[in-house]
Amino acid sequence: MKNTGNKIENIVIVGGGTTGWMAAAYLVKALQGSVAITLIESDQIPTLGVGEATVPSIRTEFFDFLEIPESEWMPQCNGTFKIGIKYADWSYTPHTTKNNEFYHIFGESKKYDDIPLTHYWLKKRLDGYDLSMSDCCYSSTAVCEFNKSPKFLDGTTGVNYAYHFDANLLAKFLASWTVKKGVVRVVDKVVNVILDNTGAIDFLKTEKGNTHKADLYIDCSGFQGLLINQALKEPFISYSDSLLCDAAVAIPVKTDNIDGLRPYTIATALSSGWSWEIPLYGRLGRGYVYSQKFISPDEAEQELRKFHGSIADDIPAKHLKMRVGRNEHSWVKNCVSLGIASGFIEPLESTGIYFIYAALKHLIRYFPDKSMNPALKDKYNERIAFMVDDVRDFIVLHYCTTHREDTPFWKANKFDLKIPDTLKRLLEVYQAGAPINLPYTDEGGYNNVFDAGFDRFWTNSNYMAILGGMNHLPNSASPILNHKPESVNKAEKIFKAIKDNTKNLLDELPSHYEYIKNLYLNQKSSDEIYSYTSVKKNEIREIDSWLKVKVS
């Protein structure tokens, strides 16, 4: 008979919000009800509620894993689709050039002859071709431009997508869903963390005079790091020398979104940071991520209000400070920190919620027994550190490749940032013309020596979207293309196929608003909705005109 006396029997999660309830939902599903889970959340501590955009892996790695369909959770969370991010005024000083917008579209580009299509485009671009990488290599850019849904009315997928949603509403939805699965919710505030003689957490004391004891503690207490930092004294590694933004101000704006429900996030560079615009069903999430070294909170709020105009009048703003970086170790003793309590990077690429479920996936992969085997902890910590550092490098890329130097903030980003050595090496390879961070393949394993044994999240197509959009081009295209004229000709056929697919998608996809409305109301058949939202003659003319300019 197997000895199961050492197995984890109970888990206490400290902190609710998006992180806590995502953790509870994931763990109750992954552990198949074999562990008693208690979540303690205070009704006195407000949640941040600004991490409202996501990346595509949330579909398979979280919602599909939990077996919760879009029709069940999206209407409860004001959810909409997200196909990518539109960047405005990042490349150059505003009003100095017409080409100061670009998209970061989801999904890996196609390949031919084991060379990414992005690098066939790069050769064309260096030879004088003017079309952007996202227009040339993806149909999704046009889908964004015309506010189309990424899905057809029968529910099948046309282009890759993620979600926008109200993070506070998602937390409430998951709380209800999770409690029904057996998780115990305790409304109380942890006021004291008692350690045992080994330095591990023994038990917790709450404001109401209760005690809670567990085999494993999950710290979801946000920036305060109640367990991991305050009680266990784990050091925090700051990224402030590489990422200057350390604060944010948010203003939610109500809107009906009927004709202009965008299927993408907008990130607009301002004087001392950048503004986000996230379209939810019924409101816009708007805010300003900035550096307090260059602008005060009051000045940032005024700049944000001026940027958005009268639509933001009389709406109270919410200010917060950000701790940018990560814990030296995310798992210490019998405590695992998740979400903001573990690490945080400004939400430029919507990675905050990704950090939560990606860490949970690793936790299940290296799930311990009561002995807290150091080998499992070490491997988990190694992977989490790599994950956060990898995102740091990608966000730094957005700042160190800008051509802007019109304000002290942008000048500091261009000239004074500490560029991580890992990013420097990638940029050296890029400048030589070769693809960087090629994704994992079954045939060849990881195609980058630095990636061996790790899950590299940002791949060649992601890097090319930012580098190409910033017009930060290498000295030459990949030298091997000079020896592959037939492959270059074949790639042209792929570009043509993408153009044809773009036209078909624009003709057949419903508008983003109508698909979401149908999903929410669920009152009409697909045929009725399609008849109502079929492409109008004037829209067809607009599409044809756009295609002549963009894809000719």
Q: What pLDDT, in 10s, does the model give residues 535-552?
A: 334 444 444 444 444 544
pLDDT digits (tens, 9 = 90+) for 478-516: 999 999 999 999 999 999 999 999 999 999 999 999 999
Q: What three-state secondary structure class fits 538?
A: helix
pLDDT at 408 over 60: yes
pLDDT score of 451 more than 70: no
Report the amino acid identity of residue 438.
L
pLDDT at 7: 96
> Cα–Cα distance between 418 and 416 in angstroms, integer?
7
Confidence of residue 135 (pLDDT cuts 50, 70, 90): very high
User: Which residues are known to be catalytic?
Assistant: 82
From the CB of residue 337, how many other CB atoms can be counted at a distance below 10 Å? 30
Q: Do 227 and 201 contact (CB within 8 A), yes or no?
A: yes
Which has the closest alpha carbon to 48: 13, 25, 16? 16
Q: Which residue has the tokens 């008849």?
A: 531
The Cα–Cα gap between 414 and 430 comes to 18
- pLDDT tens for residues 141-163? 999 999 999 999 999 999 999 99
pTM above 0.75, yes or no: yes
Q: Can you read off the two tokens belonging to residue 535? A: 């492409």
The pLDDT of 123-139, averaged and rounded, is 92
Confidence of residue 529 (pLDDT cuts 50, 70, 90): very low
Determine the Cα–Cα distance for residues 542 and 434; give it in Å rounded to an integer: 37
Q: Residue 521, CB half-sphere, CA atoms under 13 Å: how many?
A: 11
- The reported pLDDT for the residue numbered 283 is 86
The predicted model gives 457-482 an average pLDDT of 93
**pLDDT-derived band of residue 14, with 50, 70 and 90 as boundaries?**
very high
User: What is the β-pairing status of strands 111-112 and 36-41?
Assistant: unpaired
Which three-class secondary structure state does DSSP give residue 353? Answer: helix
In the predicted model, what is the mean pLDDT of the chain? 89
Contacts of 474 (CB under 8 A, 6+ apart): 122, 126, 430, 431, 432, 433
Task: Answer yes or no: is 228 a known binding residue.
Answer: no
Tokens representing residue 387 in the block = 């994950």
Residue 259 vs residue 18, higher pLDDT: 18
- Residue 155's pLDDT is 93
Q: What percent of the chain has pLDDT over 90?
A: 81
Q: Which is more confidently placed, 527 or 119?
A: 119
- Give the mean model confidence (pLDDT) for residues 359-373: 97
Q: Is 190 annotated as a binding residue?
A: yes
379 marked among binding-site residues: no
Q: Please say whether the beta carbons of 198 and 333 come within 8 A.
A: yes
Predicted pLDDT of residue 406? 95
Query: Can you tell me the distance from the alpha carbon of 203 to that of 210, in angstroms, rounded to the nearest whole number?
Result: 10
Assigned architecture for domain 10-59+165-240+324-373 = 3-Layer(bba) Sandwich (3.50)
Per-residue pLDDT at 534 exceeds 80: no
Confidence of residue 445 (pLDDT cuts 50, 70, 90): very low
* Mean pLDDT (whole number) for 198-222: 97
* pLDDT for residue 234 is more than 50: yes
- Say how many C-beta atoms besides its own lie within 10 A of residue 278's C-beta: 26
Mean pLDDT calculated for residue range 97-119 = 91
Mean pLDDT (whole number) for 34-56 = 82
10 Å Cβ neighbour count for 403?
17
> Which amino acid would we find at residue 443?
E
Residue-wise pLDDT for 386-399, tens only, equals 999 999 999 999 99
HSE-up (13 A, CA, CB side) for residue 360? 28
Q: Tell me, what's the pLDDT at 291?
A: 98
User: Rounded distance, CA 132 to CA 130, Å?
Assistant: 6
Better-predicted residue by pLDDT, 475 or 44:
475
The answer, yes or no, to whether residue 258 has pLDDT greater than 80, is no
Residue type, 481: L
As a whole number of angstroms, the distance between CA 234 and CA 332 comes to 8
Whether the predicted pLDDT of 247 surpasses 90: yes
Reported for 252-257, long-range contacts at CB under 8 A and 24+ positions apart, including other chains, are 252/283, 252/284, 252/285, 252/286, 252/315, 253/283, 253/284, 253/286, 253/308, 253/311, 253/312, 253/315, 254/282, 254/283, 254/284, 255/282, 255/283, 255/284, 255/311, 256/282, 257/281, 257/282, 257/284, 257/513
pLDDT score at 228? 98
CA distance 23 to 17: 10
For the chain, residues classed under CATH 3.50.50.60 are: 10-59+165-240+324-373
What gap in Å lies between CA 197 and CA 202, rounded to an integer?
A: 9
Which residues on neighbouring strands pair with residue 11, listed in sequence order? 37, 216
Q: Is the dihedral of CA 298, 303, 308, 314 positive or negative?
A: positive
Cβ atoms of 362 and 337 within 8 Å: the answer is no
Model pLDDT, residue 354 = 96
**Residue 531 pLDDT exceeds 80:** no
* 361 annotated ligand binder: no
- Provide the pLDDT for residue 381: 98
Phi-psi label, residue 199: left if phi above 0, alpha if psi -120 to 50, beta otherwise? left
